[in-house]
Each structure stands twice: as structure tokens, then as C-alpha cells.
Amino acid sequence: MKVCTDACLFGAYSDVSGERILDVGTGTGLLALMAAQRNPAAQVDAVEVDEAAFGQATENVAASPFTDRVRIWHGRIQAFSRTGREAFDRILTNPPFYTAHLRSPDAAVNRALHNDELPFEELTETVVRLLKRNGQLWVMLPPFEMERLVQIAQTAGLHPFRQLSVRHHAQKPVFRAIWGFSFGPGAVESDEICLYETDGKTHTDRFRTLLAPFYLIF
């Protein structure tokens, strides 16, 4: 499984404070490992439904310095949420978002991109069950899908407090949205970042600063 630049940005930007962090749909384990690196005091749980991705995440954690603080769970987050575990301070997720698009012949690709396994309604219900009352949910989605999620989340009592719009560069449209949610409505802080300068090749200083702790050469 490849690691996307926007996923790295998500892991570097999201608030990972607290003692217990949950990564929903961990894939390769990237977000869980970034959270463990950023917060040395946290215990990180990561859930992945796809067997191959679960295996890769398990291998990646085993090869990391964070084996004592990151646990990978195989299965659906809906089942995980019903096991009576303690609530989490932070929940991170880059959920599947396609709802009515053409399918890939690869079942793993469909699980990663289509939200049949985790519709937004079930995602928000699960988060409400697992998140501490003073906790935060952090989500990355395409802008249109984020608009859908915001409506569903607010109905469940989760309200946005921060939004980051992500562009490839200043002349390109916003292609990803990173939002923070918490219980209780309030003011929303807006922010924007470009991954590249207008040449489309040179990373912006802000992006480099955010990602520098995670890149061996940057």
C-alpha cells in the first residue's frame, strides 16, 4: 500500500494530545505511528478491517520503536466500539468516501475507497460511543464529502471547531479538507495550506516544517 502525501500532512497537523488515541481504518499504520511519535505519553489503538492492510500495519509497528504503545486490531470499528473499552482523547480517521462510483475489480481497493463498510452515519455513531466528552475527532476527506459528514456529525452532537483546506498549490482548487470536531457547538477556526509552490515541484516552507520530523531526507 502506498503512503499519500496528504495522509502524511493529516498525521502531522491533527491534534494528538491525551493519553489514549484511536486510528480508525489505519491502513499501513501510518497515522498511528505518527501519533505515537508526536505524543510519547499516548497509548495508540488502530483498527483495520482489510486483512492484508492489517498484516502490513502489524509489520510496520513491529519494525518501529513504538511497539509497546501501538496496538493494531483486525476487524470492523463498529464491533471494536462495542467491546466496552475506555473512551479515547483523540480519534483520527481518513474514512472511505465514495458512495456511488464505479467499482474496482480489486476488493481491497473497494474497501479502502467506498464507504459500504463504514457509512458516515455509522462512523459518527461509533465516535460518539468511543470519544471522551472533552475529546476530539479529526477527519480528512475531499471537500464535498466533508460537507456531508459535517451535517451528519452535527446531528449526532459533534461540531467542527477547526478546518484546514489543502491545495496542491495556490492556483489549484482545494482537494482535501482536514477538520477537527468536538462535542458542543462553537466558533470554527479556518486555515489553509499549499503542499507546493506555484511551480508544482517545490514544497512550501510550511509543509516542510510540518513534515520535517517524519522524513529522513526532506
pLDDT value of residue 217: 59
Mean pLDDT of 117-133: 92
Gyration radius of the chain's alpha carbons: 17
In whole angstroms, what is the distance from residue 32 CA to residue 122 CA? 21
What CATH number matches the domain at 5-214, 3.40.50.720, 3.40.50.150, 3.30.420.40, 3.20.20.210?
3.40.50.150
Residue 31's H or E segment, with its range, is helix 30-38
Domain ranges of the chain: 5-214
The tens digit of pLDDT for each residue in 159-212 reads 999 999 999 999 999 999 999 999 988 999 999 999 999 999 999 999 999 999
How far from 161 is each of 117, 164, 170, 177, 180, CA to CA, in Å?
27, 11, 24, 13, 6
First to last CA, the chain: 21
In whole angstroms, what is the distance from residue 150 CA to residue 142 CA? 12
Quote the cell numbers at residue 164: 484546514
In whole angstroms, what is the distance from residue 195 CA to residue 186 CA? 29
| Side-chain half-sphere CA neighbours of 29 within 13 A | 27
Per-residue pLDDT band at 109 (split at 50, 70, 90)? very low
- Residue 216 predicted with pLDDT over 70: no
- pTM equals 0.89
Residue 70 β-bridge partners: 44
- The three state secondary structure string of 99-141 is CCCCCCCCHHHHHHHECCCCCHHHHHHHHHHHEEEEEEEEEEE
